[in-house]
Amino acid sequence: MRENKLKYNNYRIEIPSRFKEVFTHFYFAENKTNELISKTLLPSYQTILIFNFGEKPYLFSKQNIRIKVDKYLILGPIKQAFDYALPPNTEILTINFKDDAFYRFFSNTASSENLIINPEDLVSEDCFGALWYELSKMDDSKARVDHILKFSEPYLVKRNKIAEELANFPDPALNPIKSIASQNNVSQRSIQLQHKKHFGYSAKEHNRYQRFLKAIDLIQKVASNASKVDWFELVAECGYYDQSQLINDFKNYIHLTPTQYLKFQQDICNPIS
């Protein structure tokens, strides 16, 4: 009997240590089934570059605008969950930039208010189009990743001193903006602008996202233990003012309430036998 090779493949590709300050990881996915596959990309506060080598996948914005990915597309920083669809015969490779890495490539950054970045606004020539053409001649994801890393090296300009201090700030109990401003004898407003410039979002936005991630982690632990959430305790532990603020963050980032997310996690972690 002939084996059915129609399937969906996806996996994360780790990055060599010397590129750890530049990329978090690469992600590969291919749809070899006969069905349309829909997925949700959760917020990461990273800029991503998507290369497409098959049928055109498409994304749905919060306003339900459908965006097709032709050869490549740059998005970011990703601040909210959105859905994407992979038609049959789709093959994508996604690059996840870390912290200020996208700015380091181009000494420019897109407005944090815009999801879609036009590459022609960032570089004088269509380097990504040329890179896509070279990658399209390869059929092995490892070879493609190696080629991208080699391609990246000339763009990795020396890191800005303030951006490096912000990215590697060691003490979560202290305010990084205030501390770094004091260390460099500049105003806090100056450091805030540097943060926005190099990372594509403000320190305030980042702190809000980290608070949300802490809440997500606690809810996942509760779901895996099949125990009950003490919402007042969770609100206090994560630094929320009240439950309304917690609910607003969940709706903002993943379009679910905390209780809806908990129910979803419990269904996954504790399936009915």
Judged against a pLDDT cut of 90, whether residue 172 lies above it is answered with: no
Domain-terminating residue out of 126, 155, 184 = 155
Based on the domain organization, do 248 and 148 belong to the same domain?
no
| pLDDT tier at 113, thresholds 50, 70, 90 | very low
**CATH code assigned at 99:** 2.60.120.10
Based on the domain organization, do 97 and 148 belong to the same domain?
yes
Based on the domain organization, do 145 and 237 belong to the same domain?
no
pLDDT per position as a tens digit, 222-249: 877 777 889 999 999 999 999 999 999 9
Based on the domain organization, do 17 and 140 belong to the same domain?
yes
At position 201, the amino acid (one-letter code) is Y
What's the rounded mean pLDDT across residues 87-116?
Answer: 75
Mean pLDDT of the chain: 85
> Structural domain of residue 186, as residue ranges?
161-201
pLDDT per position as a tens digit, 79-101: 988 899 999 999 999 999 999 99
Judged against a pLDDT cut of 90, whether residue 196 lies above it is answered with: yes
**pTM exceeds cut of 0.75:** yes
DSSP single-letter state for residue 173: T
Q: What percent of the chain has pLDDT over 70?
A: 88
Q: Which two tokens stand for residue 129?
A: 């189009």
Based on the domain organization, do 194 and 220 belong to the same domain?
no
- Which one of 149-153, 157-161, 184-188, 266-270 scores highest in mean pLDDT? 184-188
Based on the domain organization, do 62 and 136 belong to the same domain?
yes
- 2 lies in a domain? no
Judged against a pLDDT cut of 60, whether residue 215 lies above it is answered with: yes
pLDDT (0 to 100) of residue 4? 45
Based on the domain organization, do 32 and 119 belong to the same domain?
yes
Judged against a pLDDT cut of 90, whether residue 186 lies above it is answered with: yes
Q: Which two tokens stand for residue 117?
A: 């970045």
- Specify whether the backbone of 239 is left (phi greater than 0), alpha (psi in -120 to 50) or beta: left
Based on the domain organization, do 68 and 108 belong to the same domain?
yes
φ, ψ of residue 197 to 5 degrees: the values are: -65, -45
| pLDDT tier at 112, thresholds 50, 70, 90 | very low
Judged against a pLDDT cut of 50, whether residue 187 lies above it is answered with: yes
Q: Which residues of 241-259 are buried (b: 16+ CB within 10 A; e: fewer)?
A: eeeeebbebbeebbeeebe
| pLDDT tier at 153, thresholds 50, 70, 90 | confident
Which one is predicted more confidently, 149 or 153?
Answer: 149
Based on the domain organization, do 69 and 48 belong to the same domain?
yes
Q: Are 210 and 169 in contact (CB under 8 A)?
A: no
- 82 lies in a domain? yes
pLDDT (0 to 100) of residue 152? 86
pLDDT (0 to 100) of residue 25? 94
pLDDT (0 to 100) of residue 48? 93
pLDDT (0 to 100) of residue 126? 64
pLDDT (0 to 100) of residue 33? 94
Judged against a pLDDT cut of 60, whether residue 144 lies above it is answered with: yes
Based on the domain organization, do 176 and 127 belong to the same domain?
no
Q: 2-6, 117-121, 210-214: lowest mean pLDDT where?
A: 117-121
